[in-house]
Amino acid sequence: MSGKILVTGGAGYIGSHTCILLIEAGYEVIVFDNFSNSSIESIKRVEKIVGSSIVVIEGDIRNRDDLRGVFENHKIDAVIHFAGLKAVGESVEQPLRYYDNNISGTVALCEVMSEYSCKSIVFSSSATVYGDPHTTPIKEDFSVSATNPYGRSKLFIEEILRDLYVSDNSWKVVLLRYFNPVGAYKSGDIGEDPKDIPNNLMPFIAQTAVGKREFLNVFGDDYNTHDGTGVRDYIHVMDLADGHVKAINKIKSFNDVMTINLGAGKGYSVLDVLKAYEMASGKEIPYKIAPRRDGDIASCYADPSYAREILGWEAKRDINQMCIDSWRWQSKNPDGYKS
Ligand code: NAD
Ligand code: WQD
């Protein structure tokens, strides 16, 4: 495959892993990132892994001139749009910052793409748009809702991109709804590097296993699930990355808006993940049962059959592999990219 792909947020967790597979598939990658939640070190390590250099542009998607500079200098074929803020709790405290960064940023990006007649975009949406689903597994046509500004920013952006397509059918839009991305590249040189105390389960477990946290709080053991703890669809970040490459391959051959779940289609509880991580790391991971976390739901996992049908994609790595790869990254880099 060939073509130039602009990867906004390409220095972040999912973006950096996706860059590897894009380059291996033959695409030229331009990373655009303001490093608000990442560092250039991730890209340096990706360059080592792929054995070639990557064009990196420091800029903000809200700044149209920053973006115009990229499109002036590069003939971009498609954009994978990862750039965004993603902490649910923070979004409740700072809604305007989230709406400005995520929504205004996407509007600016699409305007500049339009100016340069680049109308192919793959967008990072989230299973959070399903709110509290009435049943599982979750299909793409389930009703959507949001309980926090982060989730609403994803819902609004999906709608904005649909409206854009209605206004101009030459747009090609893929909305990828990720379930719970975890794990790391197999070498353990890149991975998830939370800036503060991790909000998400797997990085918190990883930091507990490596001795940076004393114990895991298990948020609730009285849900209606097989062991009472919350059930989620964990998906290996390299499988997720592969989904983006397949979306980019596909985008050339259609004009439409496609909404696609990227999940493994299996639900694991908090205690299932904890046990799998203990096996992978050979460490005992202390935990305490704590009250439920506000806004959490009992169970969430995908029906991933549409991704298989439309993209020929399915998740290949199981929960044990996710924990093994997460542990390799965490134990090699106890302080993340600062290590
Ligand atoms: P991340 O924070 O690691 O990566 C996002 C990147 O975007 C960072 O490098 C950050 O510096 C950059 N960025 C943020 N705002 C920017 C701006 N205004 N201009 C330029 N760059 C900017 O997050 P991630 O986990 O890799 O997530 C990538 C995308 O996937 C996000 O949009 C996120 O909402 C979405 N998503 C993530 C998850 C998850 O659990 N990780 C789940 C569903 C959806
Ligand atoms: C998983 C399970 C927790 C931490 C979030 C966002 C979602 C998406 C993915 C971006 C739940 C439990 C967690 C801990 C725990 N992100 N848990 N102790 O909540 O499914 O989804 O990340 O789009 O929008 O909401 O993921 O990893 O936070 O939680 O017991 O210290 O682990 O209660 O059952 P979640 P998570």
For 156-200, the pLDDT digits (tens) are: 999 999 999 999 999 999 999 999 999 999 999 999 999 999 999
In tens, the pLDDT along 233-271 reads 999 999 999 999 999 999 999 899 999 999 999 999 999
Considering every ligand atom, which ligand is closest to the CA of 102? 1
Ligand 2 mean position, distance from CA 231 (Å) = 10
Most ligand 2 atoms within 8 A of CB, residue of 207, 217, 219, 226 to mutate:
219
Split at pLDDT 50, 70, 90, the class of 103 is very high
150 is known as an active-site residue: yes
Distances in whole angstroms, Cα of residue 99 to Cα of each of 32, 60, 64, 104: 20, 14, 17, 7
Chain position carrying tokens 């109308």: 119
Q: Is residue 339 predicted with pLDDT exceeding 90?
A: no
**Checking DSSP bridges between strand 120-126 and strand 172-178, what pairing results, if any?**
parallel
- Go through the domains of the chain in sequence order and give each one's CATH number: 4-182+234-263+301-315 (3.40.50.720)
Give the pLDDT score at 236. 99
189, two tokens: 């040189």
- Give mean pLDDT, residues 311-336: 98
- Give mean pLDDT, residues 108-122: 98
CA max distance for the chain: 56
In three-state secondary structure terms, 248 is helix
Does the beta carbon of 126 lie inside 6 Å of ligand 2? yes
70, two tokens: 């990229």
pTM value? 0.99
Share the mean pLDDT of the chain.
98
Considering every ligand atom, which ligand is closest to the CA of 146? 2
Catalytic one of 27, 98, 150, 234: 150
